[in-house]
Amino acid sequence: MKIGFIGIGVMGEAMAGHLLKAGHDLYVYNRTKSKADRLVEAGAVWCDDVKSIATTCDLIFTIIGVPADVENVYLGEEGLVNHARAHSILVDMTTSTPDLAKRIYEAGKVKGLQCLDAPVTGGDVGAKNGTLTIMVGGDEETYNEVLPILELMGQTIVYMGAAGSGQHTKMANQIAIAGAAIGMVEALAYSKGAGLDLETVLKAVTSGSAASWQLSNMAPRIIKDDFNPGFFIKHFIKDMRIACSESKAMNVDLPGLELVLSLYEECQKRELENCGTQALYKLYEK
């Protein structure tokens, strides 16, 4: 199978790498060509633009920046929907808006294409280890067809329902992460203020009812003064803003999410947007 992959970033490079290692013919495109160098050296074929991917591949994955980029890549004049071959399958793994996912699905259907929204969670570690959680919206028949390929990148793959359902599920995921992230950094800030050894605190609290992915994975990075991105603050802000907008449209009040968003926006004001989400801790440093 000829598989296209658009978006070779922190997550995309590792995800695409799993497809290449499985023996598939992989065609890649990224706005910054150098980010695809390692994949090309490993055997992937570089394409100069989105259109070239569209006209070459049977199955195309995308994981790119923001909804505006997704809209352009899929619905733009030189985009996938206009140039993909009939019966191709397009899978957007970007965290985007449910409404855009539905529009891509409908536009693809008119062209004889099958489109899925399949955002992921698990960060850079999950991408490298092939243990991502993937939440999928679209036609179940298409989901079943693509599932063996998704299993190369993820460990937990769940079909959520009609187009847009994957994105709605990812919003629920990001809302949960927001609460866990603030709990994690405030626990560390409190422990440091009390004069406790932070590594010993983690040994105590990560085996009980306070255990969380954030405490197990992000807190150790903070202790090591590692604020490199497994997931960028700027992307988390984008996700939380989408979640806030969707919740307001549904008349659902989420004051906790709004609080965490405001704190991350403060991080952005302090020019921390290209750090990992664990850099929220810097707001609590004296």
Which residues have C-beta within 8 Å of that of residue 32, sequence separation ≥ 6? none
H-only helix segments in the chain: 12-21, 37-41, 50-56, 67-75, 80-83, 98-110, 123-129, 140-150, 165-193, 198-205, 213, 219-223, 233-249, 255-269
H helix and E strand count, the chain: 14, 9
Count the neighbouring beta carbons within 10 Å of the beta carbon of residue 129: 12
Contact present, 154 and 131 (Cβ < 8 Å): yes
16 within 8 A of 5, measured Cβ to Cβ: yes
Q: What are phi and psi of 23, to 5 degrees?
A: 100, 5
Q: Do residues 253 and 246 make contact, with C-beta atoms less than 8 angstroms apart? A: no
C-alpha span between 180 and 164 (Å, rounded) = 25
**List 21, 170, 269, 286, catalytic entry:** 170
CB 176 within 8 A of CB 243: no
Would you call 170 a catalytic residue per the annotation? yes
* Residue 202 token pair: 């983690």
Please classify residue 158 by burial: count the beta carbons closer than 10 Å to its beta carbon, then call 0-12 exposed, 13-18 middle and 19+ buried.
middle
Task: Give the separation between CA 207 and CA 209, rounded to whole angstroms.
Answer: 7
Contact yes or no for 118/135 (Cβ under 8 A): yes
- Ramachandran bin of 126, using left for φ above 0, alpha for ψ from -120 to 50, beta for the remaining angles: alpha
Catalytic positions, written as ranges: 170
